[in-house]
Amino acid sequence: MSHSSNHGKSPFELNQDQLNCLRYYDLISKNNDLKKLAERVSADFQSQTLSPNDMTTIENVDQESKNLFSEILQKSNESKPVVIYMDGVFDIIHSGHFNAIRQAKKLGDILLVGVNSDEEVHKSKGPTLMNTAERTILASACKWADKALEGTPYTPTIELLDKVGADFGAHGDDIAPNENGVDCYQAIKDKGRMKIFKRTSGVSTTELLGRLLRAVESQDEKKSNEKEEIQSTPILSNFLTTGWRLNQFSSNKLPKTGQKVVYLDGNWDLLHVGHIDILEKAKSKGDFLYVGVFNDSLIQKEMGRHYPIMNMQERVLNILALKYVDDVVIGCPWIITENMMDSLNIDTVLSLTNKKDSHLIQTHPRLEIPKKLNKLEFLYSEYSDDNQFLIDRLKSNKAEFIRKYNIKSIKESNYYINAKQPSEI
Ligand code: CTP
C-alpha cells in the first residue's frame, strides 16, 4: 500500500501538480487510445505521480508520445473537469459509504475523498474503531475515489475547497451537525457550492457498531457491569440489495482471452487494512481477480453464531466497490473443485499465509485439488484476515462505544422518520 506525502503541508492539501495529475488521469481514463499510450509510456504516469508536463521533458519518451501528451494538455485546459470534495468518517466502512462515494463521483469528473481526522471526529461524534490512517487506506481502495485526503477537518470551509482545488462539496441528505450542533456544511451551502445525494437506507456505522456490541456482549462470559446498556435499535429500515444496486457496483466485465485469472476466497467481514493489503497483492498475481465470498451459514458454522457481523449481500457489495477486484463469486463453495476452476477459467487459486518459510505452510484440505493440479499459490501477508483486533479495540473502550451507539441510533432513526425519498444517482 503506497502513501503519498506532501512535504511540509497539511497531509490533506494537494499542490497544483498533484491536482493536474488527477485531471490528466481522469482525461486519460476516459479515452482508450490515451489509456494505451499511458500504459506504454510510464507506470509512474498511471500511478499519478507524473503529469503530462513532466512527460514532455522525460528523455525515454518518444516524439509521438510527447506530441500526443501536448495535445491532451491543450484539450484538458479547454475543458476543465469538475472537482468534487466529499468527506466523512468512514469508520467500519460499509456499502452505504461506498454508495455515497459512487454517487459523489457522478456529480463531477474528479472525486477527492476527505477522511476526517481522529481528533476532529472524537470531538463531534465520539470514538472510532479504526484510526485516520486506516480509514484513509480503506477509502482510497474504493474504485470511485480518485484520491483520499488523510486527516481533513470535520467542518469543511470554502477555504478548504479552494485549497484542495474542489469546485463543490458533496454529502448525503442527512444533516451532519458539528460539536456545536450546527450543520457542518452550512458555509458551503450558503455559497451555492454544495451538492447533496441520497443517503443509503438500512446500513450505517451505527447499525454495525450495534451488531458488534451485541456480539461482544453475548460472547462475554462475565456479563458486563457497564453503567450504560445498549438500547434496542429504534431504526425502521432494512438494507435491501436489489439487482440495480448490484449492477451499479459491478464492474460488468469478463476476463479477456489470454488474461491470467486468479481467485481468492474469504469471509471479508468488517473490511480492514489487512483485507486491502491481501486483495492488492492478489490482484498483482494476475490480470483478472475473482473474489469468492462465503455465505453466512458457512461462516457461522466456522466462527460461531454471532458471525458474520455483515451479511453476505453487504460483504459482496463492499468487495465489488474495491479497485483491485474484477468480479465476485457470491456464496462461493468451501471446497474448490476442478469443475469450478474450469467454469471460471481460473489459472491460479490463491491462499493466504502468514508464514514466510514455504516449508511451514500447510495446505488446507479444501484446497487439495488446485494443489494437485499445480494451480495453488500462497500469498504472504503480515496481516491476518480475521477481525479479532477490532473486537479487542471495541472491548477496550466499550462504555464509550455504547454511549456513542445509544446517541447515534436515536439520531439515525429520526433521520428515517423525516427523510424525503429523492432518488439515487
Ligand atoms: N452515507 C450515506 N449512506 C449511509 C451512510 C453514510 O450516504 N448509509 C454518507 C454520508 O451522508 C456522508 C458520507 O457517507 O456523505 C460519509 O459518512 P460518515 O461521515 O462516515 O458518517 P455517517 O453519516 O455518520 O455514517 P454512519 O451513519 O454510518 O456513521
CA dihedral 117, 197, 409, 190 (to 10 degrees): 70
Local mean pLDDT, 10-residue blocks, the chain (425 residues) = 44 67 68 64 55 56 68 66 95 97 96 96 92 97 96 95 94 85 92 95 90 84 60 65 95 96 96 96 97 96 88 96 98 97 98 79 90 95 84 92 87 72 71
Q: Which of 144, 149, 171, 199 to mutate to test the pocket of ligand 1 (most atoms within 8 A of CB)?
A: 199
This prediction has a pTM of 0.84
Read off the C-alpha cell for 276. 486491502
Q: Give distance in angstroms: CA of 80 to centre of ligand 1.
A: 29
Residues with Cβ within 8 Å of residue 415, at least 6 apart in sequence: 174, 199
Phi, then psi, of 164 in degrees rounded to 5: -90, 0
Q: Measured in angstroms, how far is the CA atom of residue 288 from the centroid of ligand 1?
A: 31
pLDDT at residue 354 in the model: 82
Q: What is the 172 CA–ligand 1 centroid distance (Å)?
A: 7
Bridge partners for 400 per DSSP: none
Per-residue confidence (pLDDT) for residue 7, from 0 to 100:
41
Nearest Cα residue to atom 29 of ligand 1: 205
Contact 332, 294 (CB under 8 A): yes
Ligand 1 centroid to residue 96 C-alpha, Å: 7
Whether the bond between 365 and the residue before it is cis, its omega within 30 degrees of 0, is no
**Cα(344) to centroid of ligand 1, in Å?**
36
Please identify, by atom number, the ligand 1 atom nearest to the C-alpha of residue 199: 7
* DSSP summary character for residue 342: H
CA 20–ligand 1 middle distance (angstroms): 29
| Those residues with Cβ within 8 angstroms of residue 79's Cβ, 6 or more apart along the chain or in another chain | none
pLDDT at position 45 = 55
Let me know: does 138 contact 274? Beta carbons within 8 Å.
Answer: no
Integer Cα distance of 333 and 294 in angstroms: 7
Q: Whose CA is nearest to atom 14 of ligand 1?
A: 97
pLDDT for residue 38 = 63
Structure confidence at residue 125 (pLDDT): 87
d(Cα 238, Cα 148) in Å, to the nearest integer?
Answer: 29
Q: Is 194 strand, coil or helix?
A: strand
Pairing of strands 261-266, 147-152: unpaired
d(CA 341, CA 5): 42
Q: Choose one of 112, 174, 411, 423 to mutate for the ligand 1 pocket test, by most ligand atoms within 8 angstroms of C-beta.
A: 174
